[in-house]
Structure 1
Amino acid sequence: MATVDPVDLENLIKKWAEGMFTLSKTKEQLRIPKKYLAYSIDWKKVRFVHGKPKYLDHNKSAPQPTTQVLFRTFFTNRTGEDQDYSFRTSRVTSSTCDVVMQRCYTVGSEMNISVQTPGEVLKANAGFSKELSLTNALTKSIQKTLTWEVDSQIKVPSGVQTTAELIVNELELTDKFTISTDVSGKILVTVTNTDDNNSLLDVLEANIVEIIRNMKDKEESLDNFQLTKDVGTFVSKGSYTFRYAIEQYIDLSEEDIKKT
């Protein structure tokens, strides 16, 4: 699914305010150049209520783990007796998460959408928090580091070379999601003249749902809003990919030492 430009509610409200002020201008205000008109938007009476994310592919078959060798070493015993060796090491892996929004709204540059981290990722202790917050970008990449340690004794028979490997199993979890947001309340826009010490020209107030309803014919992006009398509902769409290690183990293999 391709990423599209977000619906900027702040820009929408500004366009509405410009249109309303144009209709109500006095003769004196008509002489003020547009470049000196400032529109200050007050969002305090507007409510954004986010629903819980719905995951679209969450019931598909579980991903199969892949293996990564973090460390390999060799223990060669050329003596006539069995020998004990210490296998001690520490290695770091990266857990990553990439979130991409295909459809969303913003207020200016702010998005303010949170996605819950899947339960299986939290159980794996991959380093991610319970929620991933998207604030001011259509994409977000998160990277966490995990440390894997081993401290074991390995017995190597006489005349044998033992290969010891520290291996981790990794998973990649991909899913799509939707988040429903209900928008309601009143918008207050103050219009001032920046060329006259920000003198007050007008104060505009309206229900944000009515603004969206009135602007729908002019703004194609608003087709994604479902409107009732007092509430506008927008469904954001996105996808995520988690890559993380889930377990470690030591793999041992032996081969006889070639005699020369």
Structure 2
Amino acid sequence: MDDKEFQLNLQELVENYVWDCFKCDLGFLKGIFYQRHKHYFDIRWGYVDFQHVTTKTDRPMIRSVTKDKTELYFTEYQNKSNRDQKYTFSTTRETVATTKIELQENYTLGAETNIEIDLAGVVKIGGGVNGSVSVTNTKGEDFSETLNWNINTEIVVPKWNKARASLYVFEEPSITEFVVTTTLSLPTGSLPVSIRRVKDDKIIKTYWIMNLHCLFSDKQKEDGIVKCETKPVPGKSIDDAIVVIETRGTCRNVSWKNQHVEVQCERMADVGNEASDSHDDDESDDDKAKN
């Protein structure tokens, strides 16, 4: 299947349908004098309601790399005294969380699309891009969010020790396949489409599409590219015609979580004699206190 079959161009379908109706109304003789390239179509997409529902596929999530601990900041301390010392470890750092949406099968409105993807059911919980994102590029889009990590904590360094305090967060990449089910309907009952002349923008004729099912061929319906269904509406004797299209894609996400501080202490090698002398002084002071 080539790219053309993967992407269903709704704008092209509307234009073809309206132009065929226009040529049919003109008849053969009059139709000769109207050339399509001298006209363009004004489609009022605001009359079409697009409802999107996002779900994960049944495939298990594939991790691109394993969860990895990342050091954002560190400070080193030296305690050259015979008592434990307290220090304040404080900093603010930033990380960038990214979400890359790749679309393999989707619909378009000409050169763009308008798919809403709810990341809550797709992306793992963590610091990163969340909520819903609107994708307009027909192949997919990249999203990013800057996260601030603040730390202000007290650490204790033992006597005659040097210490390294580090701020860590976990970087967690993931790959998830998803499906967005889009339902198209006409809340007002019609979609107005005007044929305009290129040279002066004059409206030649306006059509009102009353049923979205007429836009799709039998082959498209049989192949499962679209589903043409009806939906009962309270207070109406006739069901509304709706169209259901599935968009399939991949979400490549990098999130951040589990901020924490780690402290590594090590006795200083160059203070052995000084520490011993200080220890002797402490014992002498204790003896004096006893006497």
Same fold (TM over 0.5): yes
1:172-191 CA distances to partner (integer Å, 9 max, x unpaired)?
23311112223344444333
**Structure 2 unmatched ranges of 5 or more:** 231-240, 272-291
As a proportion of its length, which structure holds more strand? 1
TM-score of the aligned structures, taking structure 2 as reference length: 0.72
Aligned match of 1:253: 264
Q: Which entry has the higher C-alpha Rg, 1 or 2?
A: 2
- The change in CA–CA distance for 1:42 and 1:80 in structure 2 (over 3 A counts) is closer
**Equivalent position amino acid for 1:54 in 2:** T
- The change in CA–CA distance for 1:169 and 1:227 in structure 2 (over 3 A counts) is same
TM-score of the aligned structures, taking structure 1 as reference length: 0.79
Aligned match of 1:39: 41
**One of 191, 194, 199 as aligned partner of 1:190:** 194
Whether the aligned pair in 2 keeps the contact of 1:46 and 1:183 (CA below 8 Å) is yes
As a proportion of its length, which structure holds more helix? 2
Aligned match of 1:74: 76
Distance 1:112 1:120 in 2: 18
- The change in CA–CA distance for 1:89 and 1:110 in structure 2 (over 3 A counts) is same
**Structure 1 unmatched ranges of 5 or more:** none
Distance 2:153 2:208 in 1: 73
**Equivalent position amino acid for 2:253 in 1:** F
Within-5 A mapping of 1:1-260: 6-26=7-27, 27-43=29-45, 45-50=47-52, 52-57=53-58, 65-118=67-120, 124=126, 126=127, 128-185=129-186, 186-195=190-199, 198=202, 200=204, 203=207, 205=209, 207-213=211-217, 216-217=218-219, 224-228=225-229, 230-259=241-270
Q: Percent identity?
A: 21
- The change in CA–CA distance for 1:161 and 1:196 in structure 2 (over 3 A counts) is closer
Higher mean C-alpha deviation, range 134-143 or range 86-95: 134-143
SS in 1 for 2:251: strand
Q: Cα offset for 1:128?
A: 3.6
Instruction: Tell me how many residue pairs correspond in the alignment.
Output: 254
SS in 1 for 2:43: strand
CA RMSD of aligned residues (A): 3.5
- The change in CA–CA distance for 1:34 and 1:114 in structure 2 (over 3 A counts) is closer
Whether the aligned pair in 2 keeps the contact of 1:80 and 1:159 (CA below 8 Å) is yes
1:191-228 CA distances to partner (integer Å, 9 max, x unpaired)?
34445762525747452212213xx55x79x7511234
SS in 1 for 2:269: coil
Distance 1:235 1:197 in 2: 35
